[in-house]
Amino acid sequence: MNQEITTKFNGHEISAEYRVDDDILHVYLPDGDVRTTELRGLNPKSAAMMHLKSYANRKYKSSR
């Protein structure tokens, strides 16, 4: 069953779904990309949030 995470970045609210199969995390980003991580004891929600924040940083980077 998929879980959902949400973050706010530069005024944008961004959500992604994730699931864990055995020890592998699958994060489904808003642009259709899927990122995977071997958890090795990591918290799945925290690891998924890192993928989502990285995506948000690339997509909504502030122009200074």
pLDDT at 63: 52
Which position has the higher pLDDT, 62 or 42?
Answer: 42
Average pLDDT, the chain: 93
Question: Residues 4-14: what's their mean pLDDT?
Answer: 94
What lies within 8 Å, CB to CB, of 18 at 6+ separation is 2, 3, 4, 5, 25, 26, 27, 28, 44, 45, 48, 51
**Residue 2: which pLDDT band, with cuts at 50, 70 and 90?**
very high
Please name which of 22, 12, 1, 24 lies closest in space to residue 52, comparing C-alpha atoms. Answer: 12
